[in-house]
Amino acid sequence: MAPLKILISNDDGVFAEGIRTLANAAVARGHRVSVVCPDQERSATGHGLTLHTPIRAERADELFDDGVQAWA
């Protein structure tokens, strides 16, 4: 099977063990993995609106194995 391009996200934040485990396992199998998630836990904020403040993301590759591109 050809490598997949996989986007992984969560609401538990970039430091959640589950997102790191999933992303690292997928890249170990040869897939291209991108992770985009909050910089901290933000469960139950799905209906929130951000109107006046830009949402900024910074690279967080260092939290994952080589080959995972991550933003938080």
Query: What are 42-65's pLDDT values in tens digits?
Result: 887 767 778 888 889 999 999 999
pTM, 2 dp: 0.85
| Per-domain residue ranges of the chain | 5-43+56-71
pLDDT in the model for residue 55: 85
Terminal Cα distance for the chain, rounded? 30
pLDDT in the model for residue 16: 95
pLDDT at 6 over 80: yes
Q: What is the DSSP letter of 55?
A: -
pLDDT in the model for residue 18: 96
Task: For the sheet with 68-71, list strands across it.
Answer: 5-8, 32-36, 68-71
Q: What is the mean pLDDT of residues 16-28?
A: 97
